[in-house]
Structure 1
Amino acid sequence: MEFNIADMIEAVSDHVPDREALVCGEKRVSYRDLDRRATKLAHYLQTKGVSNGDNVGLYMYNCIEYLEAVLACFKIRAVPININYRYIDEELRYIFDNADLVACIYHRQFTPYIRDISDTFVRSLAFVSVDDGSDEPIECIEADEFECALGAQSDTRDFSPRSENDLFILYTGGTTGNPKGVIWTHRNLFFAALGGGGHFSAQGICRSPEDIISRIAPQPVNGIALAPLMHGASWWYACIQLLAGNKLVLNHHRSLVGDQVWDICEREKINALQIVGDAMAIPLIDALDQNPGRWKLDSIFSMSSGGAVFSRSKQDAFRKYFPGIRIINSFGSSESGQMGADNGSQKGISSLGNVQRSEFMDVIVVEEDAGVLRHAQPGEHGIFARSGFIPIGYYNDPEKTEKTFVDVEGRRWLLTGDAAQIEGDGSITLFGRGSNCINSGGEKIFPEEVENVLKSHDSVFDALVVGVKDERWGSKVVAVIQPRDGVSVGLDDIQRHCRQYLAGYKVPRSIVVTERLPRSPSGKPDYASAKAIAESS
């Protein structure tokens, strides 16, 4: 064995074959069945020519088949590629092309979206359609049905040896208009993002791959992942659960409704919840406030959040209903994995929290004028950075890789882009993304992408897009618009226009009309002034 995720999950499956592994709605599979079905799918993909290093798109809502597909790819050393199911048209075209997909496993209802972009495919792709109750004609893209694909395949593990240097690529919106594929090796991902197998064991992280068996608890922890599996935070949580031999429950509903979530938690006797910040916390708390005593939830003892702001007030609201609950407010990103959690000593109302400085966790000062990168001193601001178990870089993007993964005093560091400061006690205070990127409910939105669509509207002369504080979503997208002379613009019309070209979460929630947009004499946008206009309105 190596620190390869497929190797280790196979070992877990052999050790606890009869435990429930996955639950999604009415569907349930044991560890034995998960491994068996993933093995069959892996053999099917091989018949379609998928092999070591090939990229396979996963274009699905939460479902058991999603994780079966991930594991199938890992078994044959292929690379699963997460596709945001909210993407349409040009966004979808981009990721199919940029990721060099050779195959795609998708929910049947997405057939028309794939068909509409198929004229731009530069290679022939193998398609596998997962039943979702829709009746879209999959023959138009020559797709095979998922269950039929598995039917005739062997469930024998006769695959070639794998490596801890096999790849996993996670696509993220990041801080640029197009999504970026973060390239991880299995080993680095295991230790940076998956806790090294030590989340549920007093023995701590694994020293060898075989140690994963000794980290399996006698009684499984029932955990629910509330975010879509297409997001890194949820995918990582899913792998942590499976590597520990626990039961992973998925939210099978297409949106997060508090009542529905608590129904699942009660039915499955959930012990631990994984959320993405206040955007998920608010509807969960509202449901509890509006339905006192409706659910029996005394099995819950842990809640973790990552990927977006999880405010202190929302944490306190949960503690009112779950006294003694363990709340983990993690910091990290698709590029960094888990970079620690707030230790409860939040410094300053504007900070997100604090983590401990270490040999592999620091703040880097970038002196652009002098072309120097150095470690920050106490009291200095800089960029939150990580070394050690970090990604290789960005897929098909050497320029962005060079800017993000840098050499400082002979060691390779990842610059997360988050503003941070070294405190006198050696801790690191985080202040959040230092760019203009908008984080709305865990989704990252690049303002210029939305601006380009806005400016294609006949009534819009100029536009800037900013994030304005929102109780539920952390930030909401607001468009500051300068209309053309003699015409007016309305929110409904602007939203209809944007939805033709953008995923729904990128569409402005509000607009502010102004006579003139703030720009410098050179024409560069003044985002600070635009945000002030938006907030004052």
Structure 2
Amino acid sequence: MAAEVHENIATVWETIAEVLPDALAQAHGDRRFTWSAFERRANGVARTLLDPRASKDDRVALFLRNSPEYLEVQHAAFKIGIPAINTNYRYRDEELRYLFDDADVTSVVFHGSFTETMSSLRPELSNVRQYLHVDDGTEACPDWAVPYEQAAAADAGQVRSAWGRSGDDLFLLYTGGTTGMPKGVMWRVIDMLRQINDVAGLSFDLENLEASIRGTLVEPGPVHISCSPMMHGSGWFGATMAMHKGGAVASLVAPSLDPAELLDTIDRHRVQSLTIAGEVFARRILAARAEDPDRWDVSSVRNLLSSGGMLSEASKEGLLELWPEASILDGFSSSEGFGMGWSVATKGNIPPTGRFSPGANTTVLDEEGKPVEPGSDVVGTLVVVGRLPLGYYKDPEKSERTFPVVEGERRSVPGDRAVVLEDGTIQLMGRDSLCITSGGEKIFTEEVEGVILDHPSVADVLVIGLPDPEWGQTVAAVVSLDPEAPAIGADEVVAHVKERLASYKAPRHVAIVETVPRGPNGKAVYSEARRIAEELRQPASA
């Protein structure tokens, strides 16, 4: 049995800074930071976080858009052995208040554009001792906050906390899920490091970590852009995988995806890898390129990771025309279990939408807890074993439900449903929380969404269930159209679904909208889609 490893992600980044001090670590617009600057600034922030009342129970909230400061604060937290709390900057006051309270936040690092929000929340955040203001050219630093650059410029040397750090330190990944308030998924830092080490494309010997890095890293790694926010798992993992290889992370300046800025940045930094969040990101990139095909040289891209939203076959084909030497990795994971499934597309080899090869530790079980037979059409539940979180922070009941122990084996059961096809691949059907029951039949949203998305005139879609006095629920679809494709109406959407699925799965209500509601990470906002669909079926005078 392998010896237990107690290394920390901070150890990796500190050692890379020693080996590649002058290599680029981060870029943001006109700002550039080498690995030695990244290390120095993170030490300054760590020193600031270690105020006289600091303890291992501290937590620092990252109320930040993608920027160099995001990973600097994360590095500082790893250094001193406390969790950094990812914060969805789209949250409203009630959600933020809940998150900061639930996570026991003691420090908040926030962009200047969020100053008004933090000012209104401060009186209710009794546990928060200090605030660090990151200047983004909007609101000036208030007198109750510390200017971030003042903290980052502190001459701190190598910073350590009195309680030290280890692989057993807590890593909290907050997720909103599809329903309810945010919940914190508890991972050990060593398990996050192992996951990164396994999939980054460059693996170190974790039992001899520093020596392994010094003997392996001989040149800077690739430049990466996380188009999706680092406040979500996929954006964060994309960035940290690049850093793990001694590479660099280029973050975009615009507060939401500006495809022209993205293509400019790829051209300028010869970016090799990207993280996007499904169809809405892909279509914007392709539209910008089509408008000005000779403006950019983006041939450097070799890897594209999409997570958090489905990619249509047409978009994959378009992206692979743009980047013919690239691989598109459509990753299917959750905060409760990584590596649940993968779909790899290359030029000339594009798998169907929503179809994945299951991960090594993923199985699909039927209601009796037995593996679903391939080709049986049985809708089963995805179960993950192996490397798992410790549970949900401060919620043992929910932890027990999602991470049950069955016959001595601990499992993760996030609620995703799938069928197993004859070739052993899985077709996602959706989550239990989104399952629609109509006339006694179960209808899974992702199955219907995948079919609608493959219509050449559809740009994006969300499917929800609406209450119905006769059927219990009926299927509704909120659809946006591709302005460059022939326009279609609700009847065409319904007919397209009936061509490929049983008629009871076809939507009875179709709302054609300009933009399908999604968060900044591309994830569906089903509550807003439900509101839109409800309004659509009300009488015009309502």
Q: Same fold (TM over 0.5)?
A: yes
Contact 2:417/2:431 (CA < 8 Å) preserved in 1? yes
Q: Work out which of the residue numbers 147, 150, 165 in structure 2 matches 1:148.
A: 150
3-state SS of 1:341 partner: strand
Contact 2:340/2:358 (CA < 8 Å) preserved in 1? no
Contact 1:86/1:504 (CA < 8 Å) preserved in 2? no
3-state SS of 1:416 partner: coil
3-state SS of 1:266 partner: helix
Contact 2:43/2:156 (CA < 8 Å) preserved in 1? yes
Q: Which runs of 5+ in 1 are unaligned?
A: 368-372, 452-462, 473-490, 496-502, 518-537
- Give the drift of 1:510: 3.7
C-alpha spacing 1:464/1:75, structure 2 compared with 1 (3 Å): farther
Report Cα offsets for 1:3-59 as digits up to 9, x if no partner.
311111111211111110011111111111111111111111112533324211110
CA distance in 1, matches of 2:386, 2:66: 32
Tell whether 2:20 aligns with 1:10.
no
CA distance in 2, matches of 1:94, 1:274: 29
Contact 2:178/2:526 (CA < 8 Å) preserved in 1? no
- Give the drift of 1:88: 1.7
Structure 2 equivalent of residue 280 of structure 1: 281
Structure 1 equivalent of residue 501 of structure 2: none
- Give the drift of 1:69: 0.5
CA distance in 2, matches of 1:159, 1:81: 18
Tell whether 2:50 aligns with 1:43.
no
Tell whether 2:372 aligns with 1:376.
yes
CA distance in 1, matches of 2:306, 2:536: 38
Structure 1 equivalent of residue 386 of structure 2: 388
Tell whether 2:212 aligns with 1:209.
no
Tell whether 2:170 aligns with 1:167.
yes
Amino acid at match of 2:355: G
Report Cα offsets for 1:370-414 as digits up to 9, x if no partner.
xxx444343343112211111111112222211111123321111
Structure 1 equivalent of residue 179 of structure 2: 176
Contact 1:12/1:245 (CA < 8 Å) preserved in 2? yes
Aligned residues: 467
- Give the drift of 1:134: 2.2
Amino acid at match of 2:181: N
Contact 1:278/1:471 (CA < 8 Å) preserved in 2? no
Q: How does 1:217-236 map to 2 (within 5 A)?
A: 218-236=219-237
- Counting aligned pairs with the same residue, the percent is 31
CA distance in 2, matches of 1:515, 1:222: 48
Tell whether 2:111 aligns with 1:107.
yes
Contact 1:131/1:146 (CA < 8 Å) preserved in 2? yes
Contact 2:24/2:248 (CA < 8 Å) preserved in 1? yes
- Give the drift of 1:339: 2.8
Higher relative contact order (CA 8 A, sep 6+): 1
Report Cα offsets for 1:461-484 as digits up to 9, x if no partner.
xx9996635468xxxxxxxxxxxx
Amino acid at match of 2:118: I
Contact 1:404/1:415 (CA < 8 Å) preserved in 2? yes
C-alpha spacing 1:264/1:91, structure 2 compared with 1 (3 Å): same
- Give the drift of 1:212: 4.3
Structure 2 equivalent of residue 477 of structure 1: none
Tell whether 2:94 aligns with 1:94.
no
C-alpha spacing 1:191/1:422, structure 2 compared with 1 (3 Å): farther
Q: Work out which of the residue numbers 15, 24, 29 in structure 1 matches 2:28.
A: 24
CA distance in 1, matches of 2:64, 2:159: 26
Q: How does 1:247-326 map to 2 (within 5 A)?
A: 247-326=248-327
- Give the drift of 1:507: 4.2
CA distance in 2, matches of 1:291, 1:308: 26
Q: Which runs of 5+ in 2 are unaligned?
A: 436-444, 454-459, 468-472, 483-511, 517-523
Report Cα offsets for 1:183-208 as digits up to 9, x if no partner.
1111222233x2x255333x688565
C-alpha spacing 1:504/1:427, structure 2 compared with 1 (3 Å): closer
Contact 1:198/1:206 (CA < 8 Å) preserved in 2? no
Amino acid at match of 1:232: G
CA distance in 2, matches of 1:268, 1:108: 27
Tell whether 2:65 aligns with 1:69.
no
Contact 1:167/1:186 (CA < 8 Å) preserved in 2? yes
Report Cα offsets for 1:235-293 as digits up to 9, x if no partner.
11111111110111112211112212111111111112211111110100111111121
Contact 1:357/1:426 (CA < 8 Å) preserved in 2? no
Contact 1:217/1:244 (CA < 8 Å) preserved in 2? no
3-state SS of 1:101 partner: coil
RMSD of the TM alignment (CA)?
Answer: 3.7
Structure 2 equivalent of residue 468 of structure 1: 478
Structure 1 equivalent of residue 355 of structure 2: 353
C-alpha spacing 1:432/1:191, structure 2 compared with 1 (3 Å): farther
3-state SS of 1:240 partner: helix
Contact 2:263/2:296 (CA < 8 Å) preserved in 1? yes
CA distance in 2, matches of 1:166, 1:317: 43
Q: Tell me the TM-score normalized by structure 2.
A: 0.77
- Give the drift of 1:357: 5.6
3-state SS of 1:432 partner: strand
Q: Tell me the TM-score normalized by structure 1.
A: 0.78
